[in-house]
Amino acid sequence: MPRPPLLTGPAGPPGPAAPAAADAARSGRTLARYRPRLAALAAGALPVFAFPAPGVAALAWVALVPGLLLMRAAPGAREAAVRGWWFGAGFILTGMSWLTRSIGPGLPLLAVVFGALQAGVGVAAWRLLRPPVTVRRALLAPVVVAAVWLTTEYARSWHALGGPWALLGATQWQHPAVLALASAGGIWLVSAAVVAVNTAVAVALTAVDPRPRAVAALLAAAVLVAGPLLFALRPAPPAAPADGTGPAEVRIALVQPGIVDEPDARFEASARATAALVGRPPVDLVVWGESSTTADLDRDPAALARLRALSAATGAELLAGEDARKADGRISKDAVLVSPGGVVDRYRKIRLVPFGEYIPLRPVLGWVAGVSRAAGENRAPGTDQHLLPAVDRAGRALPIGTLICFESAFPDMARTAARAGARVLVYQSSTSTFQRSWAPEQHVSLAAIRAAETGRPVVQASLTGVSAAFDAQGRELARLGTDGTGALVVRLPLTAPDAATWYDRVGDVVPLTAVLVTAGAAAVAGAGWRRERRERRGPGAAEG
């Protein structure tokens, strides 16, 4: 029997299932695109747990690997850059989460801006770690990826952009053997070593050919032993001679009043802790924390008289932290050296904390002060970094490189003080806004790194903790945590006045070299991209 003819006609409108299928397809593509980006965001948080206060320092040597593998797996350079960006944003969001207290909703914006710097890391990882990984790539990848990472750290370390906080090398602050690298190339060399090992591990995990895996493993091992080997072979900074020309060691009292919000009560708490030193073994210098007085010591004779009396009673000069409105109507933060005779000298803080002590572009970003604890008005910065001419109990010269709080993050400032002849680096700090967060521990760790870089002992006196002291190789000698109050007295062996580390002599050679390597790698990659583009267009294509 013949079949009936098929009925045909113009197609009608699609049924309700068609739009739903299209939407589902689009949703699937969107999810497929954002799933690895969200994974990169989460992977960016992982290295933060190697910093204080979690402090799993060993994690730093492998914590970048998940992020690098996500960047390597991107379908193209553009997506790798985006994943690098998301990784960087996750790193900043987690590592600086405590800033929410001071800048509130500005933190996500900060993460987006600084995260973008890591886009170059994504491209470098994609180009050098994707298959096939050869021996040449196994050698190049740790160098180039470390250089690109270091370039981003160096860029965001510019004080106008916020300063060098959460540099990867800071994760190793409790390991003087690793910090020996800092004495040669600053914190930058420690960061470079950490990134190079992470990249080598990524190569060893993904390369198919055993030769590049072996090369990567050997390279990682060589970098890991470089610091301890340097620590073992290079002598410690020479001790100061006991020849009467200057002290060979000093005793310093670090005064920590604790959480006292009212300015006059804070002054009194510091004064009581200082007065308690009388009758105890003598000290050579008493250091108060940042903002320990709100009196202008040039115009408040009563406050100055109190400090002079404390100096006379203890037999030691006193370094106070002044946070006061000056005669010109502006507020500044000064370190003021006081003797029984009065004010000896003062140093005014040069590099202020963005949003904490001033708001960049206040006409545009001033609204942040209304929704957070950002600075209600801008502090007045100083213009001159110089040593304060302290003396010990015997009247011998004890020039000190005094810097204030946030300035401990800057390697160049500590190096400048060391080259000028500082016998001790002294930091005054106040992290009261960030108590019960990671900030106090992150902050004090920087003092250890500055000690290793400069070969100078370093002390930090904090209003609310952590107050601590480190020897010339970054080893912790004493500390008073955020739950402590009183005066922490520490004996500091001094190094010779003319002692200098390699970093003291050569400065920021490592990050500048990283910038050159990054520029060279970008030029080579750009030339390769143009060559590939010409090949795709074919030999007969006209040049546009």
Residue 144: helix, strand or coil by DSSP?
helix
Query: In DSSP terms, which residues pair with 491 in a beta bridge?
Result: 251
Query: In DSSP terms, which residues pair with 487 in a beta bridge?
Result: 255
**What pLDDT score was predicted for residue 104?**
75
Measure CA 313 to chain center.
Answer: 39
Whole-number Å distance between alpha carbons of 266 and 288: 11
Tens digit of pLDDT at every position of the chain (544 positions)? 444 444 444 455 555 566 666 666 666 666 677 899 999 999 999 999 999 989 999 999 999 999 999 999 999 999 999 999 999 999 999 999 988 877 777 789 889 999 999 999 999 999 999 999 999 999 999 999 999 999 999 999 988 777 888 999 999 999 999 999 999 999 999 999 999 999 999 999 999 999 999 999 999 999 999 999 999 998 888 888 866 667 899 999 999 999 998 999 999 999 999 999 999 999 999 999 999 999 999 999 999 999 999 999 999 999 999 999 999 999 999 999 999 999 999 999 999 887 777 777 676 666 666 666 666 778 899 999 999 999 999 999 999 999 999 999 999 999 999 999 999 999 999 987 788 889 999 999 999 999 999 999 999 999 998 999 999 999 999 999 999 999 999 999 999 988 999 999 999 999 999 999 999 999 988 887 788 778 777 665 544 3
**How many CA within 13 A on the CB side of residue 458?**
30
pTM of the model: 0.90
Q: What does DSSP say about strands 458-462 and 467-470: parallel, antiparallel, or unpaired?
A: antiparallel
Q: What does DSSP say about strands 342-348 and 331-339: parallel, antiparallel, or unpaired?
A: antiparallel
CA-based nearest residue to 429, from 290, 234, 257: 290
CA-based nearest residue to 337, from 454, 428, 417, 450: 428
Residue 185 has phi, psi (to 5 degrees) of -135, 15
Do 226 and 235 contact (CB within 8 A), yes or no?
A: no
Measure CA 264 to chain center.
Answer: 33
**What pLDDT score was predicted for residue 372?**
65
Whole-number Å distance between alpha carbons of 152 and 89: 13
